[in-house]
Structure 1
Amino acid sequence: MTITIHKRYHDKLDLITLTNGSLKATFLNFGARLYQLFTPDQSGNVENILLSLDDKLAILNDQAFFGAFVGPVAGRIKHANWQNIHLEKNNGCHHIHGGSNGWAFQYWDYETYQTENSVGISFTLFDTFSGYPGPITAIVNYELTEDSLLMKSIYQTEKTTLINPTNHAYFNLSGNSKSDITTHTLQIAAAERIVTDKENIPTGARTAVSGTPYDFTKEKQIASALTDLPTGIDDSFILNADSSAPQLLLSDSVSGRRMAITTNRQSVVVFTATGFNDAFLVNGQPMRSNLGIALETQELPDIVHHPEWGSIEFTPETKKEHWTRFTFSTEDS
């Protein structure tokens, strides 16, 4: 197990590398980003399974949240308002991903640590900048074992506020993005998804996935779903609340890589990046449609306007921990 810190990788940007056995994860203090994640394929070749921006300046101006810890609230808040609080309108007339001064666009303090079986990094942010009531203290820990990456986050606020963050990594299990994610298979322990309008704002309705292209209750190739959903998937699936077994499984038959996700979060937003074409480079190639898939564990989007779904309100007395574990294996293991 090793920890390496490369300070001032660019301007104030630090690069931190954790290694444990055949797994290696790199992080950036800007946005508490999970920048790269290296895992072995079925032949033992260790490659990066994330979309990672090549240009460090692009990271500082990234609007697609590659690997960022997005908050205080991930997703959209309709009309950018909650009770008597007015948030930044940065998505038309709505608010999205914590705003332009959200957690993804701030530098976090950090320290590394080591246990008997793991290495980790703990990021801390004292947020007075995002525009949310607070201040909010956020702590997110990433802990690397020999077969998994565990993400845990806890929060403290001085005023009642909203907190519903996520990590926005884009995965591609082919390794170094050798192919797109259409040949990957996906399984989600979710019988329902949230219905959204043309602006991708939840309507308040939940609908069964059975018999629709959104049915991933059994492993299904992503290309099969995209045949019926040509504009792609950018939807919230309501997860089975039993976190004793993985709620998501992403697999790539060519590399043999498998990633299981277990979480105590309420839902996962699945985003296939369909139609996302740009000139900037990720893993040495221009960003293109379906090159990666984001699996964003979180509470339901725009839950503040649908209290029947629960609450993301935090008071100074609230004690709640969010966690998501990513476990890696291969088809022959």
Structure 2
Amino acid sequence: MNQVITRKEIASNLERPLMQYTVNNGNGYAFTCLNYGATLTSIMMPDRNGIIDNILLGFNGPTDFLNDQTYFFGKAIGRVGGRIKGGLFHYKNQEFLLPRNEGDNTLHGGVNGFHHMWWDVSETEKGLTFTKVINPEMDGFPGKLEVTITYRWGENNQFHVEFYAINKSDTPTLFNPTTHIYFNLNNDKLKGLNNHKLSISAEQLLELDQQQIPTGEFINVTNTPFDFRKEQNLSEMLHSLKQLNISGYDHPYHVTGPKAARLSNLNNGRIVEIQSDRNGLVFYSLNKTHPHIKVNEGNHLFPHMAVALEPQTLPDANHHPDFGDIVLPANTEKKYEITYKLSVI
């Protein structure tokens, strides 16, 4: 594998120069990212006809990523992905308040989460490493957190994302990071999710209240439009949801096994298989959009133009012990990995 890393400055009149990095694995696959938000702006891969195109959806202009607090296109999400009820957590009889940015709740690490930070970037033999020391004054979470995010190519065109954190303080904190990349495997992004099939390795999803907060109950997917245990046509499943007056998917699935999901394109043969060491996958079908937003190649954004598949420990786990443990106690460390296996048939 003859990997090549290139970088260029794309904006300079900012807090820091906005840098764009591209890592080409030499096999027709490449990813591009920014030092702001550890943002993935593209993953290039061929289709069965040899056409190489970006399979991610994102803003048309790189600087548009800077102040976005709505779509999180391609962003690294942390310290905690998803929603935290009441913007607080308890640990050993202590209560810790968190930054609230969605009513009384905390979403995707708050306004100043991973997605809204400048990261130091170093080039490695296999890819890129983003590092940041995050203090409570920076993001509103307790504890001093040393974070490393790595994007790299592996064997057989596997794209790896690795999150690593050390709590360098005497105060507990939370750590449940994820990625917020949106997939559209069509060469023509205006086709939205047409031609897409999806499977999710989950027999259950979480029941949500009207604020999209988990109630603590699990729902069996059998005989519902939420059943993706077998590969399903995404356009047809979205139509089934609309018959129930549901605008689209924004649901946490309780996944079983390392293979979380498989997204494929019937027309061009592209496949993305997602593996993780987490018990949850949030499936979001980009249900609400603003038409003035421009994405890839200047196209106007519209609902269901792409799908986000976010591996993580089940959201709001700090309030539900059976969801998993996302507390990072004082002076401890944690590592998570997500693998995207890219292939063409």
TM-score category of the 2 structures, normalised to the smaller one: over 0.9
Amino acid across the alignment from 1:300: L
Q: Is the 8 A contact 1:51 1:171 kept in 2?
A: yes
Pick from 115, 136, 153 the counterpart of residue 144 of structure 1: 153
Q: Secondary structure at the match of 1:274?
A: coil
Amino acid across the alignment from 1:234: D
Moved more, 315-324 or 27-36: 315-324
Matches within 5 A, 1:78-93: 78-83=85-90, 84-93=95-104
* Structure 1 unmatched ranges of 5 or more: none
Q: Is the 8 A contact 2:99 2:141 kept in 1?
A: no
Give the root-mean-square deviation of aligned CA atoms: 1.3
Q: Secondary structure at the match of 1:149?
A: strand
Q: TM-score, structure 2 length as denominator?
A: 0.91
Amino acid across the alignment from 2:302: R
**Deviation >4 Å, runs of 4+:** none
Q: Is the 8 A contact 1:48 1:176 kept in 2?
A: no
The CA deviation at 1:8 is 4.8
Matches within 5 A, 1:155-170: 155-157=165-167, 158=169, 159-170=171-182
1:256 aligned onto 2:269:
yes
How far, CA to CA, are the matches of 2:280 and 2:159 in structure 1? 19
The CA deviation at 1:277 is 3.5
How far, CA to CA, are the matches of 1:315 and 1:278 in structure 2? 43
Cα deviation code 1:77-126 (max 9, x no counterpart): 11111121111221011111111111100001110111xxxx31001111
The CA deviation at 1:58 is 1.6
Amino acid across the alignment from 1:126: V
Q: Give the match for residue 233 of structure 1.
A: 249
Pick from 146, 171, 175 the counterpart of residue 187 of structure 2: 175
Moved more, 175-184 or 305-314: 175-184
Q: Is the 8 A contact 1:182 1:290 kept in 2?
A: no
Q: Give the match for residue 220 of structure 1.
A: 232
Moved more, 206-215 or 10-19: 10-19
How far, CA to CA, are the matches of 1:112 and 1:7 in structure 2? 15
The CA deviation at 1:320 is 2.5
The CA deviation at 1:313 is 0.2
Q: Give the match for residue 37 of structure 1.
A: 43
Q: Secondary structure at the match of 1:238?
A: strand
Size of the alignment, in residue pairs?
Answer: 324
Q: Secondary structure at the match of 1:151?
A: strand
The CA deviation at 1:319 is 3.3
The CA deviation at 1:318 is 2.9
How far, CA to CA, are the matches of 1:229 and 1:266 in structure 2? 24
Q: Give the match for residue 81 of structure 2.
A: 74
Q: Give the match for residue 7 of structure 1.
A: 9
The CA deviation at 1:178 is 4.2
Q: Percent identity?
A: 32
Cα deviation code 1:267-287 (max 9, x no counterpart): 100000023243111112011
How far, CA to CA, are the matches of 1:167 and 1:16 in structure 2? 17
